[in-house]
Amino acid sequence: MSRLLKSSALALVIATPALAETDTLGRLALPEEVAAWDIDIRPDGAGLPEGRGDVWDGEDLYELQCAHCHGTFGEGVGAWPVVAGGFGTLTHEHPEKTIGSYWPYLSTVFDYVYRAMPYGAAQTLEPDEVYAITAYLLFLNDLVDDDFELSHENFTEVRLPNEDGFYMDDRVETEWPSFTQEPCMTDCGDAVEVSMRAAVLEVTPDDPLTDARHEQYLAMATAAAGEMGAVDAPAVEAAPEPEPEEEAAAGYTPEQVAAGEAAWRQCRTCHNVGDGARHGVGPHLNEVYGAPVGAKDGFRYSPVLTEAGEEGMVWDNATLDAFLENPREHLPRNRMSFNGVRDAEERQALIAYIASFAE
């Protein structure tokens, strides 16, 4: 065995009794070496280190250690995972599997951060820092309030929404019998009859092409097939004329709405608008203009927003303008981690865009 191998970590193995007796490879791991790996955290709290951390300390640590990969609001950057939002999406075609929508236990969060994060500097966080970051991740997923402190003492009291969505692996009983029986080789089912040929079927996917281009390509394909004698090319109806643009809502100009749509890129990470909009990290903003503050069904607002709505505050030009300029100053201790829009013209454009979804 080379000197390099003898001195490397590869030689540090946990020997079985038989291996220890022969002493031909490696050595017994030292207690401190075993302890360095024995840091897993279990759902019942086993393995938790002592410590505590609150949401506000967690926000500072998250911005420093996590946001460059997972986004300021847990929305994910590039190919890095989304960790917040995605509520109610598990049955959708493209579910968002986040801490709040999918993960089963808080121990899964703590264990992963404690053992493997931050990327490239794993296990550099102290227990108190991991508690604080975990508390902030709970806050980003609307599972705790902003004054929450997580510790080894209250850790097992926190339940994630999808805990009951997991069950023990039952494939031995449910799937294994089907795959271990003799396969059918003859007369295994009803005869299949081909009733139509693909050349005369509408088989082009609905998206990503627009309806007009879709019809154009379908006409070209069927015409080409007709020339080859496969089918007669059917007549294709002309694309419908576009409907005239409606007047912009709430007295805003179409130019303001268009400018607001361009400025919306800074908001769409957390908020959705338009057809099929649903709550994400923040609530969807359809029909929010002119509506009471903090009143969207199915979204858990900061207490300060709920209270403002109950006291009669409505989202209009004045309130939205003040809020967008400095969210935390206008309604202190709300959950919107956004520094605000300083340019007044840009704020008006955003309000015009939001108002366009008021009906």
The answer to whether residues 240 and 215 touch, using CB atoms and an 8 Å cutoff, is no
Does residue 223 have a pLDDT over 70? no
Does residue 15 have a pLDDT over 70? no
Domain membership of residue 13 as a residue range: 3-37
Does residue 198 have a pLDDT over 70? no
Phi/psi at 22 (5° precision): -75, -30
Does the residue 253 lie in any domain?
yes
Domain end among 165, 183, 210: 165
Task: Identify whether residues 215 and 289 lie together within a single domain.
Answer: no
Does the residue 174 lie in any domain?
no
Task: Identify whether residues 21 and 67 lie together within a single domain.
Answer: no
Task: Identify whether residues 287 and 342 lie together within a single domain.
Answer: yes
pTM > 0.85: yes or no:
no
Q: Domains in the chain: how many in total?
A: 4
Task: Identify whether residues 269 and 323 lie together within a single domain.
Answer: yes
Does the residue 69 lie in any domain?
yes
Task: Identify whether residues 161 and 59 lie together within a single domain.
Answer: yes
Q: What is the CATH number of the domain that holds 290?
A: 1.10.760.10
Does the residue 172 lie in any domain?
no
The DSSP-derived string for 257-285 is HHHHHHHGGGTTTT---STT---SSS---
Task: Identify whether residues 221 and 265 lie together within a single domain.
Answer: no
Does the residue 100 lie in any domain?
yes
Pair of tokens at residue 307: 């209270």
Q: What is the average per-residue pLDDT within 257-282?
A: 82
Whether the link from the prior residue into 118 is cis, omega within 30° of 0, is yes
CA dist., res. 300 & res. 138, Å (int):
13
Task: Identify whether residues 161 and 56 lie together within a single domain.
Answer: yes
Does residue 206 have a pLDDT over 80? no
Work out the pLDDT band at 16, boundaries 50, 70, 90. Answer: very low
What is the per-residue pLDDT across 95-143, written as a single tens digit (0 to 9) for each? 999 999 999 999 999 999 999 999 989 999 999 999 999 999 999 999 9
Pair of tokens at residue 134: 């975990």
The answer to whether residues 357 and 272 touch, using CB atoms and an 8 Å cutoff, is no
- pLDDT for the residue 126: 96
Does the residue 137 lie in any domain?
yes
Does the residue 269 lie in any domain?
yes
Q: Name the percent of the chain lying above pLDDT 70.
A: 77
- pLDDT for the residue 116: 94
Does the residue 125 lie in any domain?
yes
Between 311 and 237, the more confident residue is 311
Q: Minimal CA–CA distance to 66: which of 118, 130, 112? A: 118
CA dist., res. 286 & res. 263, Å (int):
17
C-alpha 195: how far from chain center: 43
What is the per-residue pLDDT across 179-192, written as a single tens digit (0 to 9) for each? 888 888 888 888 88
- List 54's β-bridge partners, or say none: 149
Task: Identify whether residues 75 and 119 lie together within a single domain.
Answer: yes
Between 84 and 12, the more confident residue is 84
- List 349's β-bridge partners, or say none: none
Task: Identify whether residues 79 and 128 lie together within a single domain.
Answer: yes
What is the per-residue pLDDT across 239-252, written as a single tens digit (0 to 9) for each? 566 554 444 556 78
- pLDDT for the residue 96: 92
Task: Identify whether residues 309 and 223 lie together within a single domain.
Answer: no
Side chain identity, residue 107: S
Task: Identify whether residues 281 and 343 lie together within a single domain.
Answer: yes
- Mark 74-105 as b/e (b = at least 16 C-beta within 10 Å): bbbeeeeebbbbbbebeeeeeebebbbbbbeb
Helix 127-140 crosses helix 106-116 at what angle (to 10 degrees)? Answer: 130
> What does the mean pLDDT of the chain come to?
81
Say which DSSP state 200 is in: G
The answer to whether residues 107 and 45 touch, using CB atoms and an 8 Å cutoff, is yes
Task: Identify whether residues 158 and 204 lie together within a single domain.
Answer: no
